């Protein structure tokens, strides 16, 4: 496995998430951070988008998925996002962080970080 990483920070999406009744009725802000482990050698040499992960199309997939999801837990949303990332052939592993700002009184946010690798 290589140690090259593409990162996406503070991707903000609006989705239904939470266990409270009111949370099931109103979309809330969620922040997503991604770190994709790839081998960037070929892309670094060729300077071609085809030789790397097109993170613009990947984030479109993640946004569409998240905004249409109805997860109860940030853990479930993070797992689903990790599986979307691992569908891309060049992604060897992914670290996904999902944060829910304002979920706890006196805390900026609550979230989870998971790390998944290609089977």
Which of 100, 107, 113, 114 is catalytic? The answer is 100
What is the C-alpha to C-alpha distance for residues 118 and 62, in angstroms, rounded to an integer?
A: 18
Going from N- to C-terminal start, the domains of the chain cover 4-117
Q: How far is CA 33 from the centre of its chain?
A: 6
Q: Write the pLDDT tens digit of every residue in 49-88.
A: 999 999 999 999 999 999 999 999 999 999 999 999 999 9
Active site residue 56: no
Residue range 83-102: mean pLDDT, rounded: 96
- CATH (one of 3.40.50.300, 3.30.1130.10, 3.40.50.620, 3.90.1200.10) for 4-117: 3.30.1130.10
pLDDT at 2 over 80: no
Among 2-6, 19-23, 36-40, 70-74, the least confident range: 2-6
Residue 102: the pLDDT is 84
For the question of whether the overall pTM of this predicted structure is more than 0.85, the answer is yes
């Amino acid at each position: 496995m290589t140690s090259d990483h593409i990162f996406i920070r503070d991707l903000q999406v609006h989705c239904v998430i939470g266990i409270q009744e009111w949370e099931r009725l109103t979309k809330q802000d969620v922040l997503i951070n991604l770190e994709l482990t790839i081998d960037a050698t070929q892309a670094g040499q060729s300077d071609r988008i085809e030789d790397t992960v097109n993170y613009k199309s990947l984030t479109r997939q993640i946004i569409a998925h998240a905004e249409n999801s109805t997860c109860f837990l940030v853990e479930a949303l993070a797992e689903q996002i990790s599986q979307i990332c691992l569908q891309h052939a060049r992604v060897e592993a992914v670290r996904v962080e999902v944060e829910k700002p304002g979920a706890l009184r006196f805390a900026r946010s609550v979230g989870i970080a998971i790390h998944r690798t290609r089977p």
